[in-house]
Amino acid sequence: MVVWFIKLLEFDIQYEPHGPMKTQFMANFLKEFVGNEITTPNWWTLYVDDASNIKGNRARIILEGPDNITLKQALKLNFRASNNQAEYEALVAGLKLEREVRAKRLQCYTDSQLVQGQVANTYHTKETILLKYYHIAKSLIDNFECFEMYYIPRECNTRSNLLSKLASTKKVGHLKTIIQETLQTPTIDAEEIMTREEEEPN
């Protein structure tokens, strides 16, 4: 779905989703209609951010690629999450988007010094929940030929700030070129279920 969306951008056509798009659905669409046609050896840039307030938790992703390609995703988290957990949700979602567009080289910017430090292995991950997110993120990062992650203060993270209120104030379909999705459960729960299913004997 993401690569198909990029193809539309070449003709100045905007795609407006009419409901939440699941990652697995995007992947299946990609295999069926795109195949191995698109490869992207150039550097891509990913901005991730979290935003927590009384209205709930949100995660924002902006993905920039060659030829002025820009993809934006807003996640609404319908579960309790710390700021660092929401930041990891944004990172994991962004890495999955990168994988779908077959990006090989990625520069990632986050306003969470803790998450950046953990991914760079300069900070030790002791909290159980964050450790699970860390392993998911690292497994996705291993798919890239080159990966760099940088910390930028929140006030300087202007690229992701443009999505600051989107997930909590806009309904799906109100804005074009932006993918919106609601997560009912943490990503780590889904990954654990998948792992258990793979380990079950036939």
- For residue 6, count other CB atoms closer than 10 A to its CB: 20
CA atoms within 13 A on the CB side of 116: 17
Token pair of 28 as six digits:
């299946």
Q: Distance (Å, rounded) from C-alpha 119 to C-alpha 131?
A: 10
Asked if 105 and 39 count as a contact pair (C-beta separation under 8 A), the reply is no
Question: Helix or strand or coil: residue 175?
Answer: coil
Asked if 75 and 62 count as a contact pair (C-beta separation under 8 A), the reply is no
Question: Helix or strand or coil: residue 107?
Answer: strand
- Tell me what pLDDT residue 37 has: 47
Ordered alpha helix ranges (H), the chain = 2-9, 23-33, 83-100, 113-119, 128-141, 158-161, 166-169, 187-199
- Write down all domains in the chain, each with its CATH number in brackets: 2-39+46-185 (3.30.420.10)
pTM here is: 0.71
Asked if 41 and 59 count as a contact pair (C-beta separation under 8 A), the reply is no
Q: Distance (Å, rounded) from C-alpha 178 to C-alpha 17?
A: 8
Residues forming a β-bridge with 150: 109
- Tell me what pLDDT residue 42 has: 84
Q: Which helix H or strand E contains 180, and what residues bound it?
A: strand 178-183
Smallest Cα–Cα separation from 67: which of 146, 6, 147? 6
β-pairing verdict for 146-151 and 103-110: parallel
Residue pointed to by tokens 């979290």: 50
β-pairing verdict for 56-65 and 146-151: unpaired
pLDDT digit string (tens) for the chain, length 202 residues: 444 454 544 444 444 444 445 544 544 544 444 444 445 568 999 998 876 655 667 788 888 888 777 778 888 888 888 889 999 999 999 999 888 888 899 999 998 999 999 999 999 888 999 999 999 999 999 999 999 999 988 766 555 554 444 444 444 433 345 677 888 899 998 765 444 444 445 5
